[in-house]
Amino acid sequence: MAAAATSIAISANPRVSPSSKPFIPRFTSPLFHSPSDPTPVFRCLRISSSLPAPKAPKAVATATSTTFPATAETFVPRFGPDEPRKGADVLVEALERQGVRHVFAYPGGASMEIHQALTRSNTIKNVLPRHEQGGVFAAEGYARASGLPGVCIATSGPGATNLVSGLADALLDSIPMIAITGQVPRRMIGTDAFQETPIVEVSRSITKHNYLVLDVEDIPRIVKEAFYLASSGRPGPVLIDLPKDIQQQLVVPNWDQPMRLPGYISRLPKPPVSAHLEQIIRLISESKKPVLYVGGGCLNSSEELRRFVELTGIPVASTLMGLGSFPCTDGLSLHMLGMHGTVYANYAVDKSDLLLAFGVRFDDRVTGKLEAFASRAKIVHIDIDSAEIGKNKQPHVSICGDVKLALEGINKLLEARETEQRYDFSAWREELNEQKANYPLSFKTFGDAIPPQYAIQVLDELTDGNAIVSTGVGQHQMWAAQFYKYRRPRQWLTSGGLGAMGFGLPAAIGAAVANPNATVVDIDGDGSFMMNVQELATIRVENLPVKILLLNNQHLGMVVQWEDRFYKANRAHTYLGDPSRESEIFPDMLKFAEACGIPAARVIKKADLKAAIKKMLETPGPYLLDVIVPHQEHVLPMIPSGGAFKDIIVEGDGRTAY
């Protein structure tokens, strides 16, 4: 579902006349000849991923944006209108003008000026992560939980490269995010200077867009464009690379510069035409077994989706990314489909005659064997990214546009004829209810051992399904998707497309910053948790009320499950404990918490679990609960990779030989 990264355009400074005296620029590019520029402020190249500014501003195409920039009436600048200030101060003020209130920034030599400028801001608070990857995942958690672009800042070199996993994750899951990196001074670019990495080149294929700023006067425009790009169309991460000498250069900024995105704006999807919507309604009226297949693209259109289901009575299957866009507690919810989806959701897609695919990308973990996926159905695909239409599965009807606008249009047409045309899919729903009764999500209990699924059920019960839940990646992630019943969008924060371990704890930090009054729980596994365990220090220092429900099985559980099923249970470096002391819990997670001053407890018996989770939720501030679970548990149902619905596995665990 990754949108192609736009190539960098390089244009000569338009202010240079043909008769200007030549001079030798201070930096050159191995790929492009540097044009002349007689001015002493090193503007020989303007490098960005935008096109040159049009001579006259044109009407901007309407695009959905989740940012809330400060208006001229509400924003009070710290500097006088003609007062020079450093480029770093211009950057921080540009962020303030975009409505930014929190950033996740880790300082270094090439970004010190930005941090100094942040200390002069009265509106932006920095939440200091303990690792740049923690910072970028926290910015993602902030964006996923709030719908607003998250902002992270890192220094050059290793600081910038530590952002790579988060950028890739945000691109694959369509998360609006701004990553700002310090860079070595312009004159040192390309010299293998200390802590220099070409992060623009490194990140080009894993960002929606990126910029290398070579003119301090461009900062206001570039920041404005970055937020617009990140949050319009199909959202994604945008990177701004800022050399240190640009940060230090004095300038009087021009805040009225227009954006230079004519190509991008012209390609933004238009509102859907009614003829296409009528075609969808006709297909619905002709179908007997329709099913909705909804993904992350529906998170901003939850109300419209619920109204559509109310008008049609069509059951809803959700992807991992789409959980919460339709309430899991609703009788028409089929919960999650795909590799570890419910039997009845996968059955519905397999038997359907009409598949309404809204805001999805036909990911391999959903479809399995493409030829067998929804093989009996006509397919309607609505997605804001034209690259996704027909990429994996060819639809019969497609609309490239905003799902929210499409659903609004369909609902209006359905409401206009509600009295004359009623849909009756009761026989289909009864068929699916029979599947629900025959193949419910279930688990077994062995003695006093705590089934991990039960722990999540208890959490759902005690929080009334209202917590914001983040996860790492692995078995615990799938159980959290299956057994917690999400009621609304942006409750569920997980690394879907990239599957990045270590995501859960920092993402919970971002969610807690964005929603200070919410209950935020990181459901994590011991493997994922240890990948960013240092962020416990951030949680303690910021006193964030993040609860950590750690399902500790001493193994890389999902890899162990595959070893059990497909490799004759041969253990290949998946045991995370101490082989010389297998009877002990290693490492001692409680000591990690103790080192950071966070209350913690361990629970081993099922009978003690409910009281332990209740205490975790009632304890003010952060809390870690180490729940010891058996490593033999398997996530079921399971459709093997590349398989079809007929291959679904519903029985067994690591206690059985295969």
Q: Which residues are catalytic?
A: 132, 194-195, 244, 558
Can you tell me the distance from the alpha carbon of 621 to that of 539, in angstroms, rounded to the nearest whole number?
9
Q: Are strands 378-383 and 354-358 parallel, antiparallel or unpaired?
A: parallel
Complete edge-to-edge strand list for the sheet that includes strand 177-183 = 125-126, 102-105, 150-154, 177-183, 237-243, 209-212
209, 226 contact by CB (below 8 A): yes
Of 21, 18, 5, 25, the C-alpha closest to 215 is: 25
- Nearest Cα neighbor of 143 from 170, 181, 114, 115 is 170
b (16+ CB within 10 A) / e for 280-318: bbebbeebebbbbbbbbbbbbbbebbbbbbebbebbbbb
What is the gyration radius of the CA atoms in the chain, in angstroms? 26
**Alpha-carbon distance 3 to 232, whole Å?**
13
The 10 Å Cβ neighbour count of residue 378 is: 17
- Interhelix angle 87-97/112-119, rounded to 10 degrees, is 60
Q: Quick check: helix, strand or coil at residue 595?
A: helix
SS3 181: strand
**How far apart are the C-alpha atoms of 426 and 433, rounded to whole Å?**
10
State how far the Cα of 564 lies from the Cα of 630, in Å rounded to an integer. 14
> How far is residue 546's CA from residue 621's CA, in Å, rounded to a whole number?
7
Tell me the DSSP string of 197-234.
--HHHHHGGGSSEEEE---GGGHHHHHHHHHHHHHSSS
- What token pair was written down for 603? 């629970």
Q: Are 162 and 131 in contact (CB under 8 A)?
A: yes
Separation CA 434–CA 440 (nearest Å):
10
- Which residues in 423-474 belong to E strands, given as ranges? 468-471
CA distance 45 to 37: 9
Q: Which helix (H) or strand (E) holds 400?
A: strand 397-400
In terms of DSSP H, where are the helices of 27-109? 87-97
